[in-house]
Structure 1
Amino acid sequence: MPTPLTTAERWPALPAADWEPTRRALHMYLQIVGKTRLTLSPLVNHWWQVPFYVTPRGLTTSAMPYAGGSLEALFDFHDHELRLFTCNGDTRTLRLPEMKSVADFYEQYQKALTELGVQVHLWIMPVEVAELNTPFDEQTESVAYDADAVHRCWRILLESARVLGEFRGRFIGKSSPVHFFWGSFDLAVSRFSGRPAPPHPGGAPHLGQWVMQEAYSHEVSSAGWWPGGAGYEASYYSYVYPQPSDFAQAKVPAPAYYDKDLGEFILPYEAVRTAPNPEKLLLEFLESTYAAAASLGHWDRVALEREATVTT
């Protein structure tokens, strides 16, 4: 019988600087495959048709329809491969450590789709990355692939998805799945008040204002995990749109804090993984930030929450 993982193995360290080149490359790989799902799948409210889902092996698109069949793309972070499956039984595999550049991955991925009979036109410009304005097929610089860091990132996604799933289950109003957005490169779950929101002002790099307005068409409290980058370490976050007055002053468990630049609450991942009970600290953060958002925003909490979790 396998030996159970320790807490440190389930919640491993992931310093941002240690794997930054790999994180950047992996982000681009996920965007390329994610854009396939965006193209093939019919629109679902708030763009819920585009994210990946965490699996016991990595991240999957789930089934994507195409003319003549159905396709799934699975990033396997045990064997470090991208596996493509069709309903006809055909498969193709790309070895991630063997990719020479983002452009190389893009070329090989397109070749694999063609061999599988999947015709899809992808917009090749990265999105939601302020410092990057180069199309995928022109990103020819050599890439690094730190398999151990990628595996640790996936392990954190797996544990975080489990806790976010528990948090999601305490809400009986409209809520999103626990899913991974390839644009912003984060795991997220969202709860909704049921009321329309004011039009979002937009501002995300390479995303039209109408894209953001679809995402934030209704009042929402969102939380999740982000692996870091752009000067930030890996962290959990929580925000609300529109943001009520005094939200930034809400009482949250230490060492969580409100980041004025980001406009959201941040709980450093390092604090969670080294806590005596990581799950307990994370759930306290999720519940306290949501409670502040819902109470200050005058949500109908009695109607939206399971009775046992409603607090004042």
Structure 2
Amino acid sequence: MDILKYEEWKSTVDTLGMYIQMAGKVALERIPQEPEWESAMFHITPTGISTGNIFSDNGIFQISFNFVKHEMVIHDEHGKKIVTPLRDGVSVAHFYKDFIEKLNFLGYRTDINSIPQEWCFTTPFEDDILHKSYNRHAVEKWFKLVKFAYKVLTKFAAPFRGRRTKINFYWGCMDIGTVRYSGKLLEVDPTLPVGFRYGVDAEEVEFGFNLGNNEIGEPYFFGFVWPNNPEEYKKTQISVDKAFYENQFIYKLRDCFESTFPEENAMKFFRIVYEAAKKVQNWENVNTYDKPLELPPQKIYRKH
């Protein structure tokens, strides 16, 4: 599987990221709120990402991005569907105008904050005529990596019996991840930005996959605890070749793929991050959380 460096498709990331944020902000306004913004996260689908069900006075609708056909689809419970192609040369401003018009046409008008969040620029969608790149080949390569990470994270997260999130696509920064919670709530810091403030009001350890749109510059797995990583946690020995600590634990996808057993090594990386978190945060109820599932074995094929 090819590794896609950030610089190879930066202009597309900046454009597609804004398209996705438009849909994310609709979900944020309409879906009943859950702790840590869980309700507003996207889901991974076989062909892309989706908001899941969004409620309105006119019925349920969804907004999905298909990275096989390269299109955004808005469809609802009445069978109505509008398709918007994802193509090179369409500015964020043009896409936003079209998106809002189509929502209104279907009867799902939603007033959103048009300023990007968690991004390296803050140009409102309606004013952004600079970002208009869409490289289909790069998007397809990236989504293959996302699906690999999604599979690994799903297998890792599945047996945990405590409170956890699903494998979410975080539309604010285009990474995916899952969170496990110790069960301890935290005091909300009123000085933090509102999005961050209510996203970290419980003690947690997070595991995920980032496309590398930062100083790392290439895709990687990550893990960290909240509140901020204590010194004891930073000194954790990660017995996975080439994994390291740099503000969080990092395991580059390139190094993972070059290992003999990529999937197993990624799982091992996440397990070590979790075991260290339990220790430094003094988790309670770990025997319950980690108790193996007592379920019948799954069978892909069954004899009739």
Matching of residues 41-120 of structure 1 within 5 Å: 41-98=31-88, 100-120=90-110
- Does the aligned pair in 1 maintain the 2:3–2:219 contact within 8 Å? no
Say whether residues 1:277 and 2:277 are aligned partners: no
**1:162 maps to which of 151, 158, 163:** 151
* Cα offset, 1:184, TM superposition: 2.2
> CA offsets, 1:249-289, max 9 Å, x none?
10111211111xxx211111111223222111100110001
* Cα offset, 1:95, TM superposition: 0.6
Say whether residues 1:247 and 2:233 are aligned partners: yes
Counterpart in 1 of 2:297?
A: none
- Whichever residue aligns with residue 181 of structure 2, its letter is F
- Does the aligned pair in 2 maintain the 1:197–1:241 contact within 8 Å? no
Counterpart in 1 of 2:221?
A: 236
Equivalenced residue count is 289
- Whichever residue aligns with residue 256 of structure 1, its letter is A
**1:258 maps to which of 238, 242, 245:** 245
- Does the aligned pair in 1 maintain the 2:211–2:219 contact within 8 Å? yes
How large is the RMSD of aligned CA atoms in angstroms? 1.6
- Does the aligned pair in 2 maintain the 1:256–1:266 contact within 8 Å? yes
- Whichever residue aligns with residue 235 of structure 1, its letter is Y
Instruction: Give me the whole-angstrom Cα distance separating, in 1, the residues matched to 2:31 and 2:153.
Output: 25
* Cα offset, 1:213, TM superposition: 2.6
What TM-score do the two structures reach when normalised by structure 2? 0.91
**2:175 maps to which of 186, 189, 194:** 186
Structure 2 unaligned blocks of 5 or more: 294-304
Say whether residues 1:150 and 2:139 are aligned partners: yes
**Cα separation, partners in 2 of 1:278 and 1:250, compared to 1, 3 Å:** same
- Does the aligned pair in 2 maintain the 1:200–1:216 contact within 8 Å? no
Instruction: Give me the whole-angstrom Cα distance separating, in 1, the residues matched to 2:290 and 2:173.
Output: 28
* Cα offset, 1:16, TM superposition: 1.3
Matching of residues 289-304 of structure 1 within 5 Å: 289-300=273-284, 301-304=286-289
> CA offsets, 1:3-25, max 9 Å, x none?
xxxxx3xxx32111111111111
Structure 1 unaligned blocks of 5 or more: 1-7
Instruction: Give me the whole-angstrom Cα distance separating, in 2, the residues matched to 1:96 and 1:59.
Output: 14
**Cα separation, partners in 2 of 1:144 and 1:296, compared to 1, 3 Å:** same
What TM-score do the two structures reach when normalised by structure 1? 0.89
